[in-house]
Structure 1
Amino acid sequence: MAVDATGVEFTHVPAQSAEERFADRLLRTVWEPSERSAPATVPGTWILLAEPGRETYAADLGRALEEHGATVHLRTVLRSPAAAD
């Protein structure tokens, strides 16, 4: 999965009480909607590996990558007999 996170800032705000010190140890995520940017290109060559019977998922991902400028090679990975146990 490719993700682009721009404008992310982390700041420390000193706590004043025991409750605030505890709360500062917890992570709080806030979502602020913004305008959707144009899709980024994903240049380069991607090799997607899929298990037998799950090639459809890799093929769907491959098509999505190709729509954004990537070259994609899909390969099916065969399980070894030892891995099947």
Structure 2
Amino acid sequence: MQDTLEEFGDDAEDSFRAMCAQAPENSLRRGITPYDLTMFNPHQLLRLVAELEELPDEEQTPAVRRVTEEAHKAIRHSGYLLFIGD
């Protein structure tokens, strides 16, 4: 088991959760569930980062940018990114 390097949450508007819920059915973002655990490995994170970086500027909220940054860190460390729903 790897150590936790960072922990953070969504913003007050739940912008990241809302963006995931509105994502296309075949996207990795859509698979991030607000009710359970979702974990991505480095290979999956490459695809997630690509999806996040392709979002229009108005959807690049601070929460989305933070997830992108942390995904890059996880990729560099051959780590995982874990999303914890309620």
Band the TM-score falls in, shorter-chain normalisation: under 0.3
Higher helix share: 2
The TM-score with structure 2 as length reference comes to: 0.26
Higher relative contact order (CA 8 A, sep 6+): 2
